[in-house]
Amino acid sequence: MIAFFFLSCKKDLNYTRIAGKVINIGSKQPIDSVLVILQDGVASDFFGTPGNTSSDRKNLAYTDKNGYFDVELEGEHRAYIGFKKDKYLYEYDEGGSVIGIKPYPEGTFLNEVFEMEAEAFFNGIFVNKQPNENDSLYLNVYTTYYWSSDWLLVGTGPFRPFGEYEDEGYLATGDKFSLIKLRFTRNNKWYTKIDSVYIKSLEIYRDTIFY
Q: Mind listing the pLDDT tens digit for each residue in 31-90?
A: 999 999 999 988 654 444 445 567 788 999 999 999 999 999 999 999 999 999 999 999
DSSP per-residue string spanning 42-86: -SS-BTTBPTT---S-EEEEE--TTSEEEEEEEESS-EEEEEE-T
> Do 38 and 79 contact (CB within 8 A), yes or no?
yes
Chain center to CA of 102? 13
Task: Name residues of the chain where pLDDT drops below 70.
Answer: 1-11, 43-53, 144-146, 164-166
* Confidence (pLDDT) at 166: 63
Q: Is 3 helix (H, G, I), strand (E, B) or coil?
A: helix
Any bridge partners for residue 121, and if so which?
A: 171, 204
* Confidence (pLDDT) at 144: 64
* Confidence (pLDDT) at 162: 83
* Confidence (pLDDT) at 182: 92
